Amino acid sequence: MNILESMKMAWFSIMGNKLRSFLTALGIIFGVGAVIALVSIGQGATMDITNRISSMGTNLITITSFRNSGARLQIDDAAELLERVPSINAAVPSITFSKTIKWNSKTYDASLEGVNESFPEVRNVKVATGRFFEKEEVEDRQRFAVIGNTVVEELFENVNPIGQSLLIDGQAYSVIGILEEKGSSMGRDSDDIVIVPITLAQRLSGSKYVNTIYLQAKSAEYSELAVNHVTAIFTQKFKRENMVRVSSQDELLETINTASQTMSMMLGAIAGISLLVGGIGIMNIMLVSVTERTREIGIRKALGAKSYDILRQFLVESVFLSVSGGIIGILLGAGISKLITYFAGWQTMISGTAILISFSFAMAVGLFFGGYPAYKAAHLDPIVALRHE
């Protein structure tokens, strides 16, 4: 008897008991669906974070002072680093704070960031309309502002903001540029921002210190060298180690990738357990089916079916169940991830590897858990089986 006949028989048997077959496959359907959905959520999150870190700038190095360390960063530190560290291109000191800004009669609580002219290049930010401020304008404390899209929408309805004057702390800042939209991710709106020259931000925030200094390494290869160099400079300056955190983008990416890979795998493993439970469901039903069909097995054997004909018939049936459960599960999982993206706005990524692995796992589950019932059927004594009521 060839495999095609076995498949035909399995098909008849499955279709002859549609509800039961469906319920049996349901365990596999949910198992595979869960694996696909969870892994795609995990991978989507990884991709989202990776993209966001990459979009922060190219070859970006970030310096922040450790809280409670007492160390403070100053504007001049940026200039000094640019001078002393040959492996970097640019340095941007940054102060962030909140202020209420006004235009005409409207007010808006905005996040302000004071930076220098290198900000667009280092932080990978583009100006959509207008321009960013120049080096001289920063030095001359020109009251210029470059604003994000959210601020535009909040304050300037149907008005071109370029050339308008914003009131910050009672002083007029002329809007000279609008940033390209970056969108929001993980609940933070990157477009809700007003950028002013750092020389003015110092006064506005009432602090002579800066929160962060951004550096741009000359290339990815120089990145590590620059990190070491900068770390050494600050260790020397504060006469102690670990006063500031100097981290490169690559490092950060690596850490996050490792962490999220682990997360994806754990999600997958948890979902894999439900696949196993689905397999046990298949075994259960196949055992019932063998008992129910004992007489049929006896008849087939009397008519000349060999043990492996019977074995194959039942194995094909359980693999049929698990594989079709796997296929439906893949569709279900993909559908769930699409729905999550649509309704919750989470980024998901349906992974080909996850599909392949869970599909082959489903098939293996069918083979493994169908194996024992099939073996049992194949080795029934035909005389006993024929007498079975």
Partner 1 sequence: MLIEARGIEKVYSTGKVSVTALENIDLQIEKGEFLAIMGPSGSGKSTFMNVLGCLDKPTAGSYILDGEDIADKSDNEMAEIRNKYIGFIFQSFNLLPKLTALENVMLPLIYRGTPTRERVARAKEALRAVGLEDRTSHLPSELSGGQQQRTSIARVLAGNPPLILADEPTGNLDSKSGAEVMAIFQRLNSQGHTIILVTHDEDIARHSQRIITFKDGQIVRDRRVDEPLAAGAGAEAEEREQAV
Q: Is 300 in the site for partner 1 (CB under 8 A)?
A: yes
Q: Which residue has the tokens 């000094």?
A: 80
Nearer to partner 1, 19 or 157 (CB): 19
Cα dist. 256→37, 183, 189 in Å?
21, 21, 21
- For the record, the structure tokens of 152 come out as 């535009």
Q: How far apart are CA 101 and CA 309, in angstroms?
A: 82
Nearer to partner 1, 21 or 65 (CB): 21
* β 171-179/165-168 pair status: antiparallel
Count of other CB atoms within 10 angstroms of residue 96: 15
Q: Would you say 292 and 329 are in contact if contact means Cβ atoms under 8 Å apart?
A: no
Q: Find the shortest distance in angstroms from Cβ 382 to partner 1.
A: 5
Nearer to partner 1, 5 or 254 (CB): 5
Q: Is 312 in the site for partner 1 (CB under 8 A)?
A: no
Which range binds partner 1 by CB under 8 A, 10-18, 69-77, 281-289, 328-336? 10-18
Q: Is 16 in the site for partner 1 (CB under 8 A)?
A: yes
Q: Find the shortest distance in angstroms from Cβ 258 to partner 1.
A: 55
Nearer to partner 1, 48 or 309 (CB): 309
Nearer to partner 1, 123 or 301 (CB): 301
Site for partner 1 in 323-382 (CB under 8 A): 382
Site for partner 1 in 20-79 (CB under 8 A): none
Nearer to partner 1, 320 or 369 (CB): 320
Task: Classify residue 127 as left (phi > 0), alpha (psi -120 to 50) or beta.
Answer: beta
What HEC string does 43-69 produce? HHHHHHHHHHHHHCCCCEEEEEECCCC
Q: For partner 1, which residue of 302, 339, 344, 356 counts as binding (CB under 8 A)?
A: 302
Q: How far apart are CA 118 and CA 381, in angstroms?
A: 85
- For the record, the structure tokens of 275 come out as 């696949």
Q: Is 288 in the site for partner 1 (CB under 8 A)?
A: no
List residues binding partner 1 (CB under 8 A).
1-2, 5, 12-13, 16, 295-296, 298-309, 382-383, 386
